Structure 1
């Protein structure tokens, strides 16, 4: 009788343990930390792709093992802060189920992009030409967006300092070159209703492309104001 009783109790215990293990395996009362990290990682991957980064790595921090958040019945969503990529960023991962919660997790993105660098050393005061430049894949993580992918924004500028070979071109290295110099003779182009009139003038101030310049019409002796459009040429609208 005792043997049958012990056998019965053993069977009940085995069934109870099996059901408990099955319940734990099929679901947990707490949200998976790995799923939270995956949601943050996926958000950053999509954002980096939209920004056009060709090569990048994403590292997501770990959560404290003591952190216990309720299981989320809905898909986790992630949103970044105001930090610019690449670099360090705080990601908010949110659960929008009946028991909502939000947790912040730290992450970092290291990115590479094809940008313009110096093909050869460019001396201070030298005009930067297309022949001085080349595209190269660079780590732009620490450049804070201060780089160029459009050669037209560089070509024709003056180097304010020595730019070394293979060095990334940055805005503070460049100065706009003066296309109009005070005292020199220029061509004035006046346009109205599709008609273009050209006349000779004398510049009264220096100007870079797009800047206003005062010129003296050599025929009428009148002083007029126009816009520098290229070397030695000023455009006015009548």
Structure 2
């Protein structure tokens, strides 16, 4: 078993845990040093937004468990799964992505900055994208396809040629 759920301890469990802790501490491998991990309590499918009600935090008891797995709920809540995550398995941060800021086919504002001059137009993204992604967008007035960066406010800042 790689981890166990945190539950209330009886006196016998506390004594046994203390004895184990002393043994591990002398070897430099105390359970506390291994930390915690976030696991799902039900299947999370690709494209699904992760919510706190589907998560549990457990103690890691396997010293061989390595990698970029999530240690706190804040690392995964609101993120989108790129792969299926099974109940009882750790959630790797690399298997998550930020939600899309713009959706393909929706309407966004295009902005072109030339010095102090700002020109705006309406456009339609040709792909889904997160903040900071470089995407192609069709200008709805002219039909011309331009490329730009998705900004924090959901607008696309068109790249100058």
Normalising by structure 2, what TM-score?
0.56
Post-superposition shift, 1:225?
2.1
1:186 equivalent in alignment to 2:107? yes
- Relative to its length, the structure with more strand (as a share) is 1
Q: Tell me: CA distance 1:198–1:141, structure 2 relative to 1, closer, same or farther (3 Å).
A: farther
Cα RMSD after superposing both structures: 3.9
Residue 221 of structure 1: aligned partner: 143
Aligned residue for 1:206, secondary structure, equals: coil
Q: Tell me: CA distance 1:179–1:143, structure 2 relative to 1, closer, same or farther (3 Å).
A: farther
Alignment of 1:165-184 (within 5 A): 166-171=88-93, 173-174=95-96, 178-182=100-104, 184=105
Q: Return the alpha-carbon distance in structure 2 between the equivalents of residues 134 and 109 of structure 1.
A: 22
Contact persistence 2:108–2:125 (CA under 8 A): no
Extract structure 1 runs of 4+ deviating beyond 4 A: 107-110, 150-153, 175-179, 191-199
Q: Tell me: CA distance 1:152–1:138, structure 2 relative to 1, closer, same or farther (3 Å).
A: same
Residue 233 of structure 1: aligned partner: 154
Q: Tell me: CA distance 1:234–1:200, structure 2 relative to 1, closer, same or farther (3 Å).
A: same
Q: Return the alpha-carbon distance in structure 2 between the equivalents of residues 167 and 227 of structure 1.
A: 36
Which one has a bigger Cα radius of gyration? 1
Query: Which gives a bigger RCO, structure 1 or 2 (Cα 8 Å, sep 6+)?
Result: 2
Q: What stretches of structure 2 of length at least 5 have no aligned partner?
A: 1-20
Post-superposition shift, 1:58?
4.3
1:137 equivalent in alignment to 2:84? no
